[in-house]
Chains A and B, each alone.
Chain A
């Protein structure tokens, strides 16, 4: 019995030591990374809580809503997010569904078109918009409406991929044919059959576009529009604490949205897993 134990004790210990070294290295990498990623966020929180003479209080946060222009710009940004989401869904849900149903051969082509905005940097797009629409109707080009219209384009790579993945995972043709056989019109089929089956994808696409809009600075700044990020940078030139608090707010809202998506995504995946 003792002999048998002796026989295997050595190699097992060796394995454990080797594993241990690798594991220590892995944890070291992860801990350093965690510090690098957490410290700026922690510092932002601390910075936004600074009061006079090295004290900490909530004054920056309580005063935030009273800052001139803050509420107006916050509302503009929220309206932009809502507008972008609505235009995106109205444009992209029928289009992707149509491509899946009637033009599956064109899927790759449509996908290529939808990733094009990645190739055109936002700065360059803003430049183009400024030059191309100089003589456009001023209720579009002179107001944040143009921003919403361009944000739909900026979000295309993410929204298309999300909706496309959702459509690929449901038996769309069967569902639609069943609906059409029952005498439903195209619009009815879209609203009653396609949309309910795509709930998770539609939600994800909406969250992705909204998160993008709330943080977008480049185009808004270059087109001289006032949004929350633009206001934040301007405020930062006078008052670092206020700007930091405002950017924390943007961050917080964005992250809550993205975390929601992650949670919904898992629930959706689990549901598909169970039925399949």
Chain B
């Protein structure tokens, strides 16, 4: 990853992309229900959501591999909805097995250049540079079947970058890989993307991937965009209950609404958005496990049901009087005394919480 990059590919300002009102249905199923999304030049936006939420459909429509029932895609301000896939100047990295098996790694990388009429000597040189960029200089003459899954995906990435696309499209490129390779390649993709300043749309169902790689995360559900914001904001200030529940772990604890506050287990917490219910109504508060603090107490209100050690943190699960279970992520040093059966006091970090009815 220390290779020198051809200056022409470095930090060229990327292209802005706009998705406007994309709709797509398959028979009775609505895959996309009016998706609007603006991607700034050089930005990496993740489409995150459960399977079937329409994220892959959206990516394929941008690539031109599928058509939308209505709506449009703009690149550099130009409507490209009618432009066929092979004229869009976009490059995609697929989930797996997308390398042409009859070509070597180098020939795969050079494929797009060959279509653009680049001379054999020049494309050999460029392919070599790109393979160097993804750390596979030695693999120029290997075929796909002679490489590991991680190596194949690196070659696929190099192949996509070779044509200097206006937009880079990544369709769950890491999901078929081993956990260790996945994390490593994830960081490499992100640093390359930042260095090259290439506008990137990244589809994933893995929230950790989305949160760690993206400038902004677009959380999708049932063909709609739930929230599009920075990873930090999506996590700490989820716009909807779906985002709150989908991104990160979340406790659901009963409480009583009172205007801009909610009373949970005797503690008053500010709410992110007042629910449309009269004061005194029963509501559910959504609290992150790391915001739940436990201390052993002889006359505690809750009882520890179980705990599981996870390295630096330990997840302790307690049972409330009404039987609800609440998870708490504590520094492992603070969880030593919270063995199953222990009574404890429960408190919440003084942060605004989300409330649903």
Chain A positions near chain B (C-beta within 8 angstroms):
4-5, 7-8, 10-12, 15
Contacts and interface: CB of A to CB of B under 8 A. Distances in A.
A11 B82 contact: yes
Contacts of A11: 67, 81-82
B19 to A, nearest CB: 14
Main secondary structure of the interface of A (DSSP, over half): helix
Interface of B: 21, 67-72, 79, 81-82
A87 B68 CA distance: 62
B71 A12 contact: no
A10 B67 CA distance: 11
A8 B68 CA distance: 8
Given A7-B72, A11-B67, 5 more contacts: A7-B70, A7-B79, A8-B69, A8-B81, A11-B82
A146 B21 CA distance: 77
Given A4-B21, A7-B81, A12 B67 contact: yes
Contact of B70 (A5, A10, A15): A5
Nearest to B72: A7
Interface centre among B68, B70, B71 (most CB of A within 10 A): B70
A238 to B, nearest CB: 58
B174 to A, nearest CB: 27
Contacts of B82: 10-11
Contacts of B79: 7
A15 B69 CA distance: 13
20 contacts: A4-B21, A4-B70, A4-B71, A5-B70, A7-B70, A7-B72, A7-B79, A7-B81, A8-B67, A8-B68, A8-B69, A8-B70, A8-B71, A8-B81, A10-B82, A11-B67, A11-B81, A11-B82, A12-B67, A15-B67
A161 to B, nearest CB: 24
A10 B21 CA distance: 18
A10 B79 CA distance: 14
Contacts of B68: 8
A97 B71 CA distance: 62
Nearest to A8: B70
Contacts of A4: 21, 70-71
